[in-house]
Amino acid sequence: MKSQNPSQPSGNNLDPWYFNYAARTAGLAASEVRALFAVASRPEVVSLAGGMPAVSALPQELIIESMNRVMRDQGSVALQYGSGQGVPKLREQILDVMAMEGIKASADDVVVTTGSQHALELVSKLFLDPGDVVLAEGPSYVTAVVIFKSFQAQTHHVAMDEHGMIPESLRENIARLRAEGKTIKFLYTIPSFQNPAGVTLSWERRLEILQIAKENSILVLEDNPYGLLHFDTPPPPALRSIEQEGVIYLGTFSKTLAPGFRVGWALAPHAIREKLILANEAAVLSPSSFSQLIVSEYLDNIDWRAQVDRFRGVYKERKEAMIEALNDYLPSLSWTDPKGGFYVWLTLPPYLDSKQMLPRAVKELVAYTPGTAFYADGNGHSNIRLSFCYPTPEAIRTGIRRLQTVISGETDLVETFSKTGPLGTVRDRNFSAPPPNLN
């Protein structure tokens, strides 16, 4: 279909409405994680890609009992519209969940959302104008980068090491961006068992980063899906436990209960909370009353703390299986050793490209997420995110063995072609230096 607007380019497109979309839709693209799900769902493929929780570890009979009680005792409420802020009782219970990470708050400042990713989208909608800047760890959560781009904002990455975000890098980024006339709207961080790197921000750095943000009047958006899923020692207290007015905290039941309920929340300073409620109502009218009441019933009648502890045991066993397999099959490479959460961040030799290598991996019946998915600036080619949360320990070992076959084959191919000329000419393009090794 040709454009009807002479100022727009003419031409044919498979989508007849191509020239009618808003400019911001140019930022909408399927993430590399989403694109992998179709492949990873095949039973013969070992998926080390998606961060799917091990819901098989849930006591399903108790979940069914919670559903039955909700329908028996509160059915007319569960099936009806609800408040744009969320069920009051659940908001009170969320305070007990956050208290495990040192947070003291009022239920009035909690806004229930359709998963914490929805809260992230609402915050972005409230704050981001085209051309604004979001500061985020490099690497960072793939869908956060997609959301920021969808609002025509720029993501600028702050360097990390094994202790999390580097404060000096944050200072340098702020100074440089402001010298360029950029508007920084907020700092987005996953401080505990970070996705994708698996590292945890140290207590000393938490204090320093909050001080830097305060000195520069930058709002902090703390995304904390994994904080309760530590293996041995809990992470330091949440950023929101230290600073109330300068931090929006995002939480979810997707990792400590089940993602299918789609129940998350935002804890925000009072004025921001009011706007979040309005944005929530504009987007979905109200979060699901049915899901909220089931989660509330679960928290009321089941020992949810013991269930979280059971999840910790499951994920610790699987993480240890992954680290053991990496040591056995890929000892020459380096990787992070997370103390909680879902992910290991693997660093390849700089002459390998994790994205270009993926088709060969799928052929070998193993899936992973290329590091490029977690950067807005094209970095990550020499990195892979490996998820240990969903596959069994046996499947993890099989997956790493298959990955070793892939990496060996790619290495042999590069070495063969490098004999005909300098290694740099084997590649289609130049690669930037790999990101810091997060050991």
pLDDT band at 433 (very low <50, low <70, confident <90, very high): very low
2 pLDDT more than 60: no
Find the domain containing 362 and state its range: 26-57+307-426
Nearest to 224 by CA among 203, 245, 195, 246: 195
Q: Which of 255, 284, 301 is the last residue of a domain?
A: 301
pLDDT beyond 70 at 435: no
Band the pLDDT of 24: cuts 50, 70, 90: confident
CATH no. for residue 244? 3.40.640.10
Examine residue 8 and state whether it is found in any structural domain, yes or no.
Answer: no
What local confidence, expressed as pLDDT, does residue 17 receive? 86
181: left (phi over 0), alpha (psi -120 to 50) or beta: left
Shared-domain flag, residues 320 and 274: no
Check whether residue 163 and residue 31 sit in a common domain: no
The CATH number of the domain holding residue 318 is 3.90.1150.10
Residue 29 has, within 13 A of its CA and on its CB side, a CA count of: 12
Residue 15 lies in a domain: no
Q: Which of 301, 328, 352 is the last residue of a domain?
A: 301
Residue 1 within a domain: no
pLDDT for 278-288, tens place per residue?
A: 999 999 999 99
Based on the fold, state whether residues 100 and 213 are members of the same structural domain. Answer: yes
127 belongs to a structural domain: yes
pLDDT digits 0-9 by tens, 158-178: 999 999 999 999 999 999 999
Question: What confidence score (pLDDT) does residue 277 get?
Answer: 97
Whether 46 is covered by a domain: the verdict is: yes
Classify 259 as helix, strand or coil. helix
E strand or H helix at 343, and its extent? strand 343-347
Q: Is residue 11 part of a domain?
A: no
Same domain? 389 vs 282: no
Percent of the chain with pLDDT over 70: 89
Task: Say if 378 falls within a structural domain.
Answer: yes
Together in a domain, 147 and 67: yes
4 belongs to a structural domain: no
Look at 412 and 426; give whichever has higher pLDDT.
Answer: 412
Same domain, 283 and 422: no
Do 226 and 247 share a domain, yes or no?
Answer: yes
Answer yes or no: is pLDDT of 9 > 80: no
> Is the confidence at residue 190, as pLDDT, over 50?
yes
Give the chain's domain count.
2
What's the pLDDT at 158? 98
Q: What pLDDT digit, counting tens, does each position of 356-403 carry?
A: 999 999 999 999 999 999 999 999 999 999 999 999 999 999 999 999
